[in-house]
Amino acid sequence: MSLHRAGAVARRIVLQFRRDRRSLALLFVAPMVVLTLVGVLWGSAATNTVRVVAAGDVDPQVLEALRGTEIQLSALDRDAALEELRAGHADAMIEIADNAATVTVEGSDPTRTAAIVGQVEGALIHLILDVPLTAFVKVSYLYGGPDYSLLDYLAPVLIAVFAFFFIFLLSTVSFLRERTSGTLERLLATPLTRGELVAGYMGGFALFALLQALVILAFTVFVLKVQYRGNLATIFIVEAVLVIGAVSLGLAISAFARNELQAVQFVPLVLLPQVFLSGFLVPVDQLSDVLRAISAVLPLTYANEALRSVMVKGYALTDPLILRDIGILAAFALLMAVAAVLSIRREVA
């Protein structure tokens, strides 16, 4: 083995990277951006306020004692309290009768559920008859329950993340290859308009995106045996709109890369902020105001919300929340398609 020849190859690689300023910027800037996001997300003290609704007639002394804790408490009649819980405006509902308490938790997020039960139990200890809480408190679940595994809760988020990631990467790299190989210039020499060109590419990529979405959903439900409450067709519709948006985003992002290495380096910049801020790791309502504002423009935020609502809570396609999330995802796909058309104009016009 000749170290001289190996060194010559290494020098060529170094010189190649030194001239490629965009790759160097992505190489060093992308990790700092992601680490800054992690630092903002987890570097400050979290405010994990538990929102509890007391239903029906509750002893005023008990209410006063609970208000003295870190729990955010309000009192409503039972129907209104249950509606607050269903809408996600409350984390738990407390009912107290005959020296016994029933705590009904929202239950769609297992990690948050455990924290809620612990805080509510801690606040209620010795408030009634000085009896240890576990002797007279019953915990029930509005959604999910003890028979749900962690995978059952995480499946909606994982379906969204995997479907989005793989098709985004495929469309970005594939469309970049079309740009760099001169195929786009040759196609634009024909009567094709830029809009028709993007629509054609989207149609081709979307076919494989929808097939991939179908495979991911079928494998999750029928092979992994994940529990779900909603309709499979509704789940697929949400996933389909998401992956079409991922295709549009991939076509638009490809304009900012000059080679496949740069295209791959865009993945953490596009995907990781969405994983951190879309409700996968930390509930969106527990984020700071700045991070919540960023979360509001990320497609995975709405896909996660819709898929979790369908699979864990059993929402139907006609539910206003599901229709709103699908509409936002469709608007995102359309916006990125327009951006892809404009990027072609800048690239080859």
Whether the predicted pLDDT of 317 surpasses 90: yes
Tell me what the mean pLDDT of segment 293-302 comes to: 92
Three-state secondary-structure class, residue 114: helix
**DSSP three-state, residue 55:** strand
Tokens in use for 300? 């995975």
Chain centroid, CA 98 distance in Å: 42
In angstroms, rounded to a whole number, what is the distance separating the alpha carbons of residues 259 and 251?
14
CB neighbour list of residue 140: distance below 8 Å, 6 or more residues apart: 102, 103, 104, 105
In this prediction, residue 234 carries a pLDDT of 95
Question: Long-range contacts of range 45-50, CB-CB < 8 Å, 24 or more positions apart?
Answer: 46/282, 46/286, 47/286, 48/115, 48/286, 50/91, 50/92, 50/115, 50/116, 50/119, 50/120
Structure tokens at 208: 């494989």
- Most confident range (mean pLDDT) of 138-142, 198-202, 324-328 is 324-328
Assigned token pair, 33? 């951006």
Of the ranges 1-15, 22-36, 38-52, 101-115, the best mean pLDDT one:
101-115
For residue 281, the model assigns a pLDDT of 78
Instruction: Quote the CA–CA distance of 225 and 207 in Å, as a whole number.
Output: 26
Per-state percent for the chain, helix, strand, coil, to nearest 5: 70, 10, 25
What would the pLDDT profile of 153-175 be if each residue is shown by its tens digit? 888 988 999 889 888 988 888 88
Task: Out of 8-22, 133-147, 299-313, pick the least confident.
Answer: 8-22
The residue among 329, 162, 166 whose CA lies nearest residue 238 is 329
Structure tokens at 290: 């700045």
Answer yes or no: is pLDDT of 50 > 70.
yes
Residues 81, 265: Cα–Cα separation, whole Å: 48
Rounded Cα–Cα distance for residues 48 and 50 (Å): 6
- Classify each residue of 134-163 as buried b or exposed e, where b means 16 or more C-beta atoms within 10 Å of its C-beta: eebbebebbbbeeebeeebbbbbbbbbbeb
Higher pLDDT among residues 116 and 155, named by residue? 155
Question: For position 338, what pLDDT does the model report?
Answer: 92
Phi, psi of 49 (to 5 degrees): -75, 130
- 24: number of Cβ within 10 Å: 12
| CA–CA dist 55, 76 (Å, integer) | 5
